[in-house]
């Protein structure tokens, strides 16, 4: 699950990470009072920030033609006028794809006086199976670009999860950012706070871009997270009621929301062949083999190892709501899964939805004989596949590709 910048910063702030004074606004009416409050608090300017689950907002363009999803306003009037151009409008950034995302929340933040922008992230490194904390002096930029062109500007520390991040590691990273004097200790404290957020909230990723060296009103310098992106590990969400409440359904595809209600792993794709598979690995392999024989998968769908008849029926209904679907491939290898449960689910779903599209079924494994019998006796017109390759070829042919 992903959360918005303002929510990420709320979590970070709980772990002592400095963020700017900010107020989220869901409607235009809230913008002026929020801007006035921030300006009254001593900030000379206020930043109006579009909240969507994608980065690159600053350099993004609205479909209306309005440039920039992050704008600095000199006064409340200007903040309101920016807000009018953003709220309810579709913002296209490097990360949204051409469709863009509709902005439904704004974040009004005190504008910081930025002296330098850095990059900071906590990720999981698959190679070492450990968290890594990564910093770069090249903040505010695309980190992929930095990694490609100047990889030496990215400095990493691998964390032993049994002991957690050690203060010396944080100091090393702070020094790598070129911080001097008291700012090394302040930087290390902030980095440890970000690591603690990542660890305790069970995040898959925390990214702060930019982490800024800012000049305060008294002329002193300090460090502050001016952007925050957090992705959470869905498997650990049950431990975090407060974070579950941050879910924003506006940011998720409607069919994927429906699928999640039935604990189905569904991801919509652009092709015409829907797949219903048990197990993520087999689902990936099924998508590959469809492509191999010249077709295009319409989705990734893993019904899991122990799917019930209700889940299979729900899965069918979900894949059929995609208007691009021209044929369906059911590929089940019953290990824990009872093939007859799948077969019963298929029959129920086909009858309930009045399916007219070609349906190819490949069943193998646990209780397969009963499953095949259920299908045979159902009177449904379906095509059976003897192997994965056979089934894939048949469905590709059936959809006419
Ligand atoms: P995105 O990464 O989606 O473009 P950011 O939150 O990083 O959005 O904002 C883009 C840029 O806007 C930042 O790199 C920073 O230069 C500037 N910015 C963002 N928030 C503030 C703020 N509170 N004060 C001053 N400048 C800001
Ligand atoms: Mg950013």
Residues 174/79, Cβ–Cβ less than 8 Å: no
209 alpha carbon to ligand 2 midpoint, in Å?
4
Please say whether the structural domain 113-244 has been given the CATH code 3.40.50.1820.
no
Q: Is 119 marked active-site?
A: yes
Q: What is the pLDDT of residue 254?
A: 87
pLDDT tens for the chain, 401 residues long, are: 999 999 999 999 999 999 999 999 999 999 999 999 999 999 999 999 999 999 999 999 999 999 999 999 999 999 999 999 999 999 999 999 888 999 999 999 999 999 999 999 999 999 999 999 999 999 988 888 999 999 999 999 999 999 999 999 999 999 999 999 999 999 999 999 999 999 999 999 999 999 999 999 899 999 999 999 999 999 999 999 999 999 999 998 888 889 989 989 999 998 999 999 998 999 999 999 999 999 999 999 999 878 888 898 899 999 999 999 999 999 999 888 889 988 998 999 888 888 889 999 999 999 999 999 999 999 888 999 989 999 999 999 999 85
Task: Spot the catalytic one: 5, 22, 138, 207.
Answer: 207
Task: Spot the catalytic one: 119, 195, 251, 266.
Answer: 119
Q: Are strands 46-50 and 106-110 parallel, antiparallel or unpaired?
A: antiparallel
Closest residue to atom 22 of ligand 1, CA basis: 111
Q: How many CA atoms lie within 13 A of 26 on its CB side?
A: 3
Instruction: Show the 3-state SS of the chain.
Output: CECCHHHHHHHHHHCCCCECCEEEECCHHHHHHHHHHHHHCCCCCEEEEECCCCCCCCCCEECCCCECCEEEECCHHHHHHHHHHHCCCEEECCCCCCCCEECCCEEEEECCCEEEEEEEEEEEECCCCEEEEEEECCCCCCHHHHHHHCHHHEEEEECCCCCCCCHHHHHHHHHHCCCCCHHHHHHHHHHHHHHHHHHHCCEEEEEEEEEEEEECCCCCEEEEECCCEEEECHHHHHHCHHHHCCCCHHHCCHHHHHHHHCCCEEEECCCCEEEEECCHHHHHHHHHHHHHCCCCECEEEECCCCCCHHHHHHHHHHHHCCCCCCEEEEEEEECCCCHHHHHHHHHHHHHHHCCCCCEEEEEEECCHHHHHHHHHHCCCCCEECCCHHHHHHHHHHHCCC
Q: What is the pLDDT of residue 142?
A: 85
Q: How far is CA 360 from CA 234, 337, 342, 354, in A?
A: 32, 19, 13, 16
Q: Can you tell me the distance from the alpha carbon of 120 to that of 188, in angstroms, rounded to the nearest whole number?
A: 12
Which pair of structure tokens corresponds to residue 341?
A: 């449960």
Closest residue to atom 20 of ligand 1, CA basis: 226
Which overall architecture, per CATH, does domain 21-110 show? 2-Layer Sandwich (3.30)
What residue ranges of the chain are covered by domains with CATH 3.40.50.261?
254-399
Q: Is 15 marked active-site?
A: no
109 alpha carbon to ligand 1 midpoint, in Å?
10
| Ligand 1 pocket: which of 8, 23, 44, 49 to mutate (most atoms within 8 A of CB) | 49
- The number of angstroms, rounded, from the C-alpha of 240 to the middle of its chain's C-alpha atoms is 17
Q: What is the pLDDT of residues 131-183, one digit of tens each?
A: 999 999 999 888 889 999 999 999 999 999 999 999 999 999 999 999 999 99
What residue ranges of the chain are covered by domains with CATH 3.30.470.20?
113-244
Q: How far is CA 108 from CA 49, 127, 191, in A?
A: 6, 39, 25
Please say whether the structural domain 254-399 has been given the CATH code 3.40.190.10.
no
Q: What is the pLDDT of residue 325?
A: 95
Q: What is the pLDDT of residue 401?
A: 57
227 alpha carbon to ligand 2 midpoint, in Å?
5
What residue ranges of the chain are covered by domains with CATH 3.30.1490.20?
21-110
* Ligand showing the shortest atom-to-Cα distance for residue 107: 1
Ligand 1 atom index nearest CA of 58: 4
Closest residue to atom 16 of ligand 1, CA basis: 140
Q: What is the pLDDT of residues 326-372, one digit of tens each?
A: 999 999 998 888 899 889 989 998 888 888 899 999 999 999 999 99
226 alpha carbon to ligand 1 midpoint, in Å?
6
129 alpha carbon to ligand 2 midpoint, in Å?
27
Find the residues whose C-beta lies inside 6 A of ligand 1. 20, 47, 49, 55-58, 70, 109, 111-112, 114, 117, 140, 209-210, 226-227
Strand partners, 62: 91
């Amino acid at each position: 699950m992903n959360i918005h910048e303002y929510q990420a910063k709320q979590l970070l702030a709980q772990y002592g990470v400095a963020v700017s004074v900010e107020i989220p606004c869901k409607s235009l009416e809230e913008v002026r009072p929020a801007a006035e409050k921030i300006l009254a608090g001593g900030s000379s300017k206020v930043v109006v920030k579009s909240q969507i689950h994608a980065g690159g907002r600053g350099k993004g363009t609205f479909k209306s033609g309005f440039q920039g999803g992050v704008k600095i306003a000199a006064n409340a009037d200007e903040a309101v006028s920016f807000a009018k151009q953003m709220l309810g409008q579709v913002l296209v950034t490097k990360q949204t794809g051409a469709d863009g995302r509709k902005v439904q929340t704004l974040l009004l933040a005190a504008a910081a006086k930025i002296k330098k922008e850095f990059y900071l992230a906590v990720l999981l490194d698959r190679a070492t199976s450990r968290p890594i904390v990564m910093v770069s002096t090249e903040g505010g930029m695309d980190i992929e670009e930095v990694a490609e062109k100047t990889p030496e500007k990215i400095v990493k520390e691998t964390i032993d999860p049994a002991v957690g991040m050690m203060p010396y590691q944080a100091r090393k990273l702070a020094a790598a950012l070129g911080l001097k004097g008291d700012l090394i200790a302040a930087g290390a404290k902030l980095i440890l706070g970000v690591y603690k957020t990542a660890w305790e909230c069970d995040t898959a990723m925390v990214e702060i871009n930019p982490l800024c060296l800012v000049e305060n009103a008294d002329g002193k310098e300090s460090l502050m997270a001016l952007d925050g992106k957090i992705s959470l590990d869905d498997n650990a969400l049950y431990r975090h009621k407060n974070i579950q409440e941050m879910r924003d359904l506006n940011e998720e595809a409607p069919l994927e929301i429906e699928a999640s209600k039935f604990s189905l792993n569904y991801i919509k794709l652009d092709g015409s062949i829907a797949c219903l598979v048990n197990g993520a690995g087999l689902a990936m392999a099924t998508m590959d083999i469809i492509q191999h024989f010249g077709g295009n998968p319409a989705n990734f769908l893993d019904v899991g190892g122990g799917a019930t008849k209700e889940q299979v029926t729900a899965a069918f209904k979900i894949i059929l709501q995609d208007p691009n679907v021209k044929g369906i491939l059911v590929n089940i290898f019953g290990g824990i899964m009872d093939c007859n449960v799948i077969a019963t689910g298929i029959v129920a779903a086909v009858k309930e939805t009045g399916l007219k599209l070609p349906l190819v079924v490949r069943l193998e494994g646990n209780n397969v004989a009963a499953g095949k019998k259920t299908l045979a006796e159902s009177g449904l017109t379906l095509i059976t596949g003897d192997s994965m390759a056979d089934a894939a070829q048949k469905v590709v042919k059936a959809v006419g590709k």
